[in-house]
C-alpha cells in the first residue's frame, strides 16, 4: 500500500458538500456588516436586506414565496419543527417511512404520538400498496388527523420517492405531508406545490453552503408551533438573532445551485460508469432499478466490512462514507439497507456521493482504488483449494 497518493478525492458530498466560492464570498461580506438584522439603523437595514435576499433565493430554489421560508440552524431543526407541527395538528398516529433520516424518525418518537413505520420495497422506495391499504382502513373518528413524513430522496441510496403520488393519497384524506428534501434539492428540480408538500426541509451544507444553516418551507395548510421562544424573529416562528453570515451563504448557494441544476445530469453518467465496473467485480448496486439522484452510488459486497473499505480508501486519499454521516462512526449495518432486505450484505455497503466540485477524474480514481482494494481482499479470503 502506497503511503503517498497522487491526489485527494472527496466523494462524500451527501454528508457535506464543500463550500462554494459564491457562498464563501457572501458570508464574508455579511460578516463585514457587523450589525443585527433587527436594528433599525443603516447597518441593521443592510443586514436585513441580506437576509431577505437570501430568503428569496432559497424560496426560488423550491418554487415557493419568500414568506413561506423560515430559517433554522439546519435540517435537523427544520425537520423537528415540521414533525412537531404534525403532532400539534391533532394526529394520533405519525406515519414515517422505514428509511427516514433520524432527525425525522427520532423527532416523531419524541412527540409522544404513536409512530407507524411505513415499509419500503427491495429498491428502497416506499410501498404505495401498503399506504393505500392503510388509508383504506383509516378511520378519522378514531385515528384523527392523518400525518405523514417522507424524504424526497434517500440519503444513502439516492432513491427518489413517489412524493406526488403520496401527496394525492394523503390529501384525499385531508392529511398533512412533511417532506425532507435535504438530499434532493440542488440535484433535481424541487417544487413545493408540484410535490404537494405541506412542509419541506432544506439544509445549506448539502448544496455548497455553510454548516449550521437550514430552512423549513411551509404551505398554507401547514401547522407550525415554534419551539425556540423569545422575540418575533422569522415571522414569530423561530426566535433568536439570525445567523447573518450563515443565511447569506445559504442564499448564495441556493442561487448558484438553481442556475447549475442542468449540469447535475452529467454526474449520473460518471456514477453509472463506476457502478458498472463495481458490478463486474461482484458488487451489488443498491436501488439500481429505482429513479435515483445523479450524485449517489451505494454498493455492497459480501464479507468486506464497510469500515475496512473506508480505511483502505482513505489511505489512498479517497474519501467516501459507509452511509449516513449521522451514523458513520458506528460499526453497524445500514438501517436503510436492512429495511430493503439486504441482511448481512448491508455490513459491506459503501456510499459514494458527488456534487458541484466533482470531476470525472474523481470517479475514475475512486473506481481504480476500490477495485484494487477489493481484488486484494478477495485474494486473501479465497476459500481453501480454490484455483486462481
Give the residue among 197, 168, 202 at the shortest CA–CA distance from 183: 202
Average pLDDT over residues 261-285: 96
> CA nearest 159: which of 129, 188, 134?
188
pLDDT value for 5: 54
pLDDT at 385 over 60: no
Q: Would you state the cell numbers that stand for residue 120, as one nine-digit string?
A: 419500503
Residue matched to cell numbers 405523514: 148
Question: CA–CA distance from 182 to each of 129, 317, 319 (Å)?
Answer: 26, 27, 21
Q: Residue 339 class from Cβ within 10 Å (0-12 exposed, 13-18 middle, 19+ buried)?
A: buried
Provide the b/e sequence for 5-22 (b: ≥16 CB within 10 Å).
eeeebbbbbbbbbbbbeb
- Could you give the CA distance from residue 182 to residue 63 in angstroms, rounded to a whole number? 15
Q: Between the CA atoms of 271, 63, 74 and 34, what dihedral angle is there, to the nearest 10 degrees? A: 120
Annotated catalytic residue: which of 284, 319, 326, 378?
A: 326
pLDDT, position 315: 96
- Rounded to the nearest integer, the mean pLDDT of the chain is 92
Task: Choose among 175, 153, 253: nearest CA to 213.
Answer: 253
Range 21-259 classified under CATH 3.50.50.60: no
| 3-class DSSP state of 91 | strand
pLDDT digit string (tens) for 64-117?
999 999 999 999 999 999 999 999 999 989 999 999 999 999 999 999 999 999
Confidence of residue 48 (pLDDT cuts 50, 70, 90): very high
326 carries an active-site annotation:
yes
Question: Cell numbers of 111, please?
Answer: 412527540
Helix, strand, or coil here: 114? strand
pLDDT for 313 equals 97
pLDDT digits (tens, 9 = 90+) for 148-164: 999 999 999 999 999 99
DSSP annotation of 348: G
Per-residue pLDDT at 388 exceeds 50:
no
Residue 53 · residue 249 · CB < 8 Å: no
Query: Which of 80-94, 144-158, 173-187, 217-231 has the least mean pLDDT?
Result: 217-231
pLDDT digits (tens, 9 = 90+) for 350-377: 999 999 999 999 999 999 999 999 999 9
Confidence at residue 331, expressed as pLDDT on a 0 to 100 scale: 56
Cα angle value 141/146/148 (rounded, 5°): 160
Please write down the long-range contacts of 228-236, taking CB distance under 8 Å and 24 or more positions apart. Answer: 231/38, 233/38, 234/70, 234/71, 235/67, 235/70
Helix (H) or strand (E) holding 254, with range, is: helix 244-259
Greatest distance between any 2 Cα atoms in the chain? 81
Domain 9-18+262-380, CATH number (from 3.90.1150.10, 3.10.20.30, 3.30.1330.40, 3.40.720.10) = 3.90.1150.10
| pLDDT tens digits along 307-350 | 999 999 999 999 999 976 554 445 578 999 999 999 999 999 99
Percentage of the chain modeled with pLDDT above 70 = 94
Per residue in 198-218, pLDDT (tens digit) is 999 999 999 999 999 999 999
pLDDT for position 328:
45
| pLDDT score for 33 | 95
With 80 as the cut, is the pLDDT of residue 265 above it?
A: yes
Query: Is the Cβ–Cβ distance between 203 and 246 less than 8 Å?
Result: no
Question: By the 8 A CB rule, do 62 and 210 touch?
Answer: no
For cell 500500500, what's the residue?
1
Check residue 3 and give its pLDDT.
Answer: 41
Could you tell me the pLDDT band of residue 1, with boundaries at 50, 70 and 90?
very low
Q: How far apart are CA 119 and CA 97, in angstroms?
A: 6
* Residue scoring higher pLDDT (91 or 237): 91
Q: What is the pTM of this model?
A: 0.93
| pLDDT score of 6 | 59
Name the residue ranges covered by the structural domains of the chain.
9-18+262-380, 21-259
Which residues are CB-neighbours of 196 under 8 A, at least 6 positions away? 163, 164, 166, 167, 168, 170, 171, 177
Residue 167 has pLDDT above 70, yes or no: yes
* pLDDT value, residue 236: 72
The confidence band for 226, taking pLDDT boundaries of 50, 70 and 90, is confident
Residue 138: predicted pLDDT: 84
pLDDT of 59 > 60? The answer is yes
Amino acid at each position: 500500500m502506497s503511503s503517498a497518493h497522487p491526489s485527494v478525492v472527496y466523494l462524500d458530498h451527501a454528508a457535506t458538500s464543500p463550500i462554494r466560492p459564491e457562498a464563501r464570498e457572501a458570508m464574508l461580506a455579511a460578516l463585514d456588516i457587523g450589525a443585527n438584522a433587527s436594528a433599525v439603523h443603516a447597518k441593521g437595514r443592510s443586514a436585513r436586506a441580506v437576509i431577505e435576499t437570501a430568503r428569496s433565493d432559497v424560496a426560488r430554489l423550491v418554487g415557493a414565496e419568500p414568506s413561506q421560508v423560515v430559517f433554522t440552524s439546519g435540517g435537523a431543526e427544520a425537520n423537528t419543527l415540521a414533525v412537531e407541527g404534525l403532532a400539534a395538528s391533532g394526529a394520533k398516529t405519525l406515519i414515517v417511512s422505514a428509511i427516514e433520516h433520524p432527525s425525522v424518525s427520532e423527532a416523531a418518537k419524541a412527540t409522544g404520538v404513536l409512530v407507524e413505520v411505513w415499509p419500503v420495497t427491495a429498491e428502497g422506495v416506499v410501498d404505495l400498496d401498503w399506504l393505500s391499504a392503510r388509508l383504506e382502513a383509516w378511520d378519522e373518528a378514531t385515528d384523527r388527523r392523518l400525518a405523514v413524513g417522507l424524504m424526497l430522496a434517500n440519503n444513502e441510496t439516492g432513491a427518489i420517492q413517489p412524493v406526488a403520488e403520496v401527496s394525492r393519497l394523503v390529501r384525499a384524506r385531508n392529511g398533512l405531508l412533511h417532506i425532507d428534501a435535504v438530499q434532493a434539492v440542488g440535484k433535481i428540480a424541487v417544487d413545493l406545490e408540484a410535490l404537494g408538500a405541506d412542509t419541506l426541509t432544506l439544509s445549506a451544507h448539502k448544496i455548497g453552503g455553510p454548516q449550521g444553516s437550514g430552512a423549513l418551507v411551509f404551505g398554507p395548510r401547514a401547522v407550525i408551533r415554534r419551539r425556540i421562544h423569545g422575540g418575533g424573529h422569522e415571522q414569530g416562528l423561530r426566535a433568536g438573532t439570525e445567523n447573518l453570515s450563515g443565511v447569506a451563504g445559504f442564499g448564495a448557494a441556493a442561487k448558484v445551485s438553481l442556475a447549475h441544476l442542468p449540469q447535475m445530469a452529467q454526474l449520473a453518467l460518471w456514477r453509472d460508469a463506476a457502478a458498472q465496473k463495481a458490478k463486474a467485480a461482484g458488487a451489488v448496486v443498491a436501488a439500481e432499478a429505482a429513479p435515483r439522484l445523479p450524485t449517489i452510488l451505494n454498493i455492497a459486497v459480501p464479507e468486506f466490512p464497510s469500515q475496512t473499505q473506508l480505511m483502505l480508501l482513505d489511505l489512498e486519499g479517497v474519501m467516501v462514507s459507509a452511509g449516513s454521516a449521522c451514523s458513520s462512526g458506528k460499526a453497524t449495518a445500514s438501517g436503510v439497507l436492512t429495511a430493503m432486505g439486504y441482511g448481512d450484505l448491508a455490513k459491506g455497503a459503501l456510499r459514494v456521493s458527488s456534487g458541484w466540485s466533482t470531476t470525472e477524474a474523481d470517479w475514475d480514481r475512486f473506481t481504480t482504488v476500490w477495485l484494487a482494494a477489493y481484488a486484494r481482499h478477495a485474494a486473501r479470503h479465497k476459500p481453501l483449494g480454490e484455483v486462481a
